[in-house]
């Protein structure tokens, strides 16, 4: 039931999926930043619609959420944001279920999905919505042709994994490790195991959590991921620029550069995957 846009984005096998909170730190700058990500090589962009209680986020993204909310971000503004964006890559909305549920007059997720479809969004990631509670949103997505991405954690196994993989479409978000910090080494370890468990499923696997450099990206893709998701490393650049009062163009340039580093890393990883056997 996959959306052709996301299929296409993962087609080359080394998709770069950056995340930014829409409206961080303000509407206009944020538009520039997202556009910079595309210039830097993004294949899909995860756009965060900030929720006041982001229970799944690390401190970096929590602060981004605070900045964006203080800048006046709301679901309505978010849709304006999407409309104002001039990018060609598919956009995935990352938000919490309560915002989707409350939108519009009718209760339930349908109005939000309808509006998202209208604006050309490709899908959703909803970190506090487990497969068990996802039916209403899944149905609305099906109705409007959007994908519903699910996260698979290192602890997700057996039945749970089945249940998720039955629901997922677009790509599966492979959480590289538990928590939000930790050394790269054990990330690869847990990632490998996760990818292994997922190998039987025919859906793109994008790995995220803690990827910060081109090197990381390279190793993850080399390890078998179809793409990398990068959030905090990019949000850090926005935060730093905001704190230092740098102008939006300067920050956008840094984001573009970082994006390129990550995308290049991913491609190197892909390039090394096939000849891996030969190298030794």
Partner 1 sequence: MSKTRFDGKFGDYGGQYVPEALMPAIEELEDAYERYVLANEDGFMDEFRERLADFGGRPTPTQYAERLSERYDRDVYLKREDLLHGGAHKLNNALGQVLLAKYMGKERIVAETGAGQHGTATAMAAAHLDMPCEVYMGERDINRQRPNVFRMKLNGSEVNPVTVGRGTLKEAISETMRDWATNVEDTHYVIGSVVGPHPFPAMVRDFQSVISEEAREQMREKAGTLPDSVLACAGGGSNTMGAFAEFVDDDGVELYAVEAGGSTLDVDEEAGVAPNSASLSTGSEGVLHGARTKLLQDRDGQIMESHSVSSGLDYAGVGPELAYLVDEGRVRAVNVDDDAALTAFHRLSQLEGVIPALETAHAFAYLEANDEELGDTVLVNVSGRGDKDLESVIEETAQRDIDIAPDMDAFAGGF
Residues lying near partner 1 in the complex (CB under 8 A) are found at: 51-59, 62-63, 66, 69, 74-76, 96-103, 107, 127-130, 132-133, 150-157, 160, 164, 175, 178-180
Q: Which is nearer to partner 1, 40 or 210 (CB)?
A: 210
Smallest gap from residue 86 Cβ to partner 1 (A): 26
CA angle 103, 32, 128 (to 5 degrees): 35
Q: How crowded is the C-beta side of 46, counted as CA atoms within 13 Å?
A: 31
Give yes or no: 32 in active site.
no
Q: Which is nearer to partner 1, 137 or 270 (CB)?
A: 137
Give yes or no: 222 in active site.
no
Q: Which is nearer to partner 1, 72 or 120 (CB)?
A: 72
Q: Could you say which of 5, 35, 38, 46 is catalytic?
A: 46
Q: Which whole-number Å values give the CA distances from 73 to 22, 84, 252, in the listed order?
A: 8, 14, 20
Structure tokens at 229: 């998701």
Q: Which is nearer to partner 1, 10 or 96 (CB)?
A: 96
Q: Could you say which of 5, 35, 57, 256 is catalytic?
A: 57
Q: Which whole-number Å values give the CA distances from 268 to 51, 218, 223, 258, in the listed order?
A: 36, 6, 12, 15
Smallest gap from residue 197 Cβ to partner 1 (A): 13
Smallest gap from residue 99 Cβ to partner 1 (A): 4
Determine contact, residues 107/101, Cβ cutoff 8 Å. Answer: yes
Q: Which is nearer to partner 1, 45 or 151 (CB)?
A: 151
Determine contact, residues 92/125, Cβ cutoff 8 Å. Answer: yes
Smallest gap from residue 44 Cβ to partner 1 (A): 20
Q: Which is nearer to partner 1, 47 or 129 (CB)?
A: 129
Smallest gap from residue 79 Cβ to partner 1 (A): 12
Smallest gap from residue 55 Cβ to partner 1 (A): 5
Catalytic residues: 46, 57
């Amino acid at each position: 039931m996959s959306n052709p846009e996301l299929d296409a984005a993962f087609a080359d096998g080394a998709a770069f999926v950056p995340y930014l909170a829409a409206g961080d730190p303000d509407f206009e700058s944020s538009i520039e930043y997202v556009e910079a990500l595309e210039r830097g090589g993004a294949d899909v962009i995860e756009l965060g619609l900030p929720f006041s209680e982001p229970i799944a986020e690390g401190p970096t993204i929590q602060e981004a959420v605070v900045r964006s909310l203080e800048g006046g971000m709301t679901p309505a503004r978010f849709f304006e944001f999407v409309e104002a964006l001039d990018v060609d890559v598919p956009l995935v909305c990352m938000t919490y279920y309560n915002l989707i549920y409350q939108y519009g007059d009718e209760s339930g997720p349908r109005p939000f999905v309808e509006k998202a479809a209208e604006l050309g969004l490709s899908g959703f990631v909803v970190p506090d919505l487990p497969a068990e509670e996802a039916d209403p949103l899944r149905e609305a997505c099906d109705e409007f042709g959007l994908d519903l991405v699910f996260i698979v954690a290192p602890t997700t196994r057996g039945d749970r994994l089945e249940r998720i993989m039955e629901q997922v479409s677009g790509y599966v978000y492979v959480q590289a490790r538990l928590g939000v910090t930790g050394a790269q080494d054990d990330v690869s370890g847990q990632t490998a195991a996760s990818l292994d468990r997922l190998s039987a499923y025919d859906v793109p696997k994008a790995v995220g959590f803690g990827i910060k450099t081109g090197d990381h990206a390279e190793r993850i893709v080399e390890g078998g991921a179809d793409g990398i998701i990068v959030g905090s490393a990019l949000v850090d650049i926005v935060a730093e620029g905001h704190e230092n009062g740098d102008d939006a163009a300067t920050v956008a340039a840094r984001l573009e550069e970082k994006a390129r580093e990550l995308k290049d890393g991913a491609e190197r990883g892909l390039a090394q995957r096939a000849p891996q056997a030969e190298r030794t």
